[in-house]
Amino acid sequence: MHITADAATEWLNRAAPAARAASATVARLNAAARNAALRAAAAALRDASAAILAANAADLAAFDAGGGGVAFRDRLLLTPARVAAMAQGLEDIAALPDPLDRTLADWTRPNGLRIRRIASPIGVIGMIYESRPNVGADAAGLCLKSGNAVILRGGSDSRHSARAIHAAMRDGLRAAGMPDAAVQVPPDSDRAHAAMLGAAGLIDLIIPRGGKSLVRRVQAEARVPVLAHAEGLCHTYVHAAAEPEMARRVLHNAKLRRTGICGATETLLIDAEIAPALLPALIADLRDGGCEFRADARARAICPELPAAGAADFDTEWLDAILSVAVVDGVDAAIAHVRRHGSEHTDAIITEDAAAAEKFLAGIDSAVGMWNASTQFCDGGEFGFGAEIGIATGRIHARGPVGLEQLTTYRYLVTGAGQVRP
């Protein structure tokens, strides 16, 4: 369904106040009621699996007709296992502690006033995302659990999938007594984009999740606060004291498990001391998995068959089976490379030297630093958050996986005994 820009604004002018009223209702529900609603939505997703997969097939057919790439197709693809994982994700969220049942600080002033800082919902969240239709279910679950309402604007390439997922969740939430307006999807994703960005006073927070161009556009045009993540230009640094078999195993997973996610490693850094012995094996492992390479001169001196890296390659988030490769002289050089080329998302060191690991992790300023682990662990489910709505790389409010706690703010409750200010 295509609507005009004015119609999109009119829709939002109705939808956002309804979402605000719904968020007040959701916030007042006790944790048991919110959890029951999430479990009902999970059951509805499972029941609607065939309809969701049929809708996804329509999206995939349109994507294939447009000649889209393999990595982005994987982001769009739903399978029975992925639908089941969406449902399980909602149940995992329901099982987590209540993010609203938290006293963040509690103190008493000399005049006897007791002051408490307590967790509170943000209100109405606008989620703008691309391609991955499961993001809508994750975002809805996290927002509802944290007492918020959400307006979900998915990408045009996943419109059928997003609507089918929303329809199923709406049925489950409605059966559990949750107001319909707590989770809404606009009738036209393209027109809604601009309307949401200008919705100051209607939407409390915009969260974009997608490629660099989407995030930059949202940051440039939004009149609403933005909780954004930059591109996932992630590095794996193989230090001189790395255990070789661990390095091979971890790097293979970090690059090739799913190449299209923001936590996939895009650049390999390897110490010059061990590169002659280890780099050929690392390259062979990845080449066997279908990976291509862009290498600096020092790496090509060891593996002459590698294509030379261009000027922009170490600043590129490939989101594909392509890896940039550089040889470095120790921890300081690795840190300098990450700071110069990285996006402060997720960066890892592979080493048995604890001092080297601590120096690297302290020297980078990434939202997530990893030691002897795949960068692909950087998501909310793997952190124990149940799911995540994105990976925040900014410095305000939240960094790293954005889960339940990051979807709350706080307010103060002050208790007195008749005090008046002198």
On whether both 319 and 346 belong to a single domain, the answer is: yes
Do 19 and 60 share a domain, yes or no?
A: yes
Is residue 86 included in any domain, yes or no? yes
- Shared domain check, 343 and 370: yes
Closest CA to 372 of 348, 403, 402: 348
Asked if residue 418 is part of any domain, the answer here is no
Same domain, 336 and 358: yes
* Listed ranges 61-65, 204-208, 294-298, 398-402; the one with the highest mean pLDDT: 294-298
**Residues 91 and 152 grouped into a single domain:** yes
Pick the last residue of a domain from 229, 253, 284.
Answer: 229
Closest CA to 74 of 126, 114, 132, 129: 132
- The one-character DSSP state at 149 is E
CA distances from 357 to 143, 270, 361 (A): 36, 14, 6
Residue 273 included in any domain: yes
pLDDT in tens, 162-184: 999 999 999 999 999 999 999 99
Query: How many folded domains does the chain comprise?
Result: 2
Domain boundary pick from 173, 195, 229: 229
- Is there a single domain that holds both residue 164 and residue 281? no
| Structure-block tokens of residue 192 | 């809604």
Considering 205, 229, 253, which residue would you say is the last residue of a domain? 229
Cα–Cα distance for residue pair 146/407, rounded to 1 Å:
6
Count of alpha carbons within 13 Å of 132, Cβ hemisphere only? 22
Confidence category of residue 7, pLDDT binned at 50, 70, 90: confident
Question: Inter-axis angle of helices 31-47 and 49-65, to 10 degrees?
Answer: 60
User: What distance in Å separates the CA atoms of residue 404 and residue 197, rounded to the nearest whole number?
Assistant: 23
Token pair for 415: 């208790």
pLDDT at 195 over 70: yes
- Residue 2 pLDDT grade (very low, low, confident, very high; cuts 50, 70, 90): low
Sheet strands (E) in 138-220: 149-153, 183-184, 205-209
pLDDT at 189: 64
Q: Are residues 201 and 313 in the same domain?
A: no
> Residue 298's closest CA among 333, 335, 325?
325
Asked if 199 and 126 touch (Cβ cutoff 8 Å), the reply is yes
CA distance to 58, 91, 418, per residue, from 51 (Å): 11, 21, 61
pLDDT, tens digit, 9 for 90 and up, residues 224-268: 999 987 689 999 999 999 999 999 999 999 999 999 888 999 999
One domain for residues 128 and 201: yes
By residue range, what is the domain housing residue 267? 234-379
Please report, for the domain that includes residue 206, its CATH number: 3.40.605.10
Q: What is the pLDDT of residue 202?
A: 95
Cβ atoms of residues 261 and 346 within 8 Å: no
Q: How many residues does the chain have?
A: 422
389 pLDDT more than 90: no
User: Are residues 203 and 301 located together in one domain of the fold?
Assistant: no
Model confidence band, residue 155 (pLDDT cutoffs 50, 70, 90): confident
Q: What is the pTM of this model?
A: 0.84
- Decide if 397 is inside a domain: no
In a domain, 246, yes or no: yes
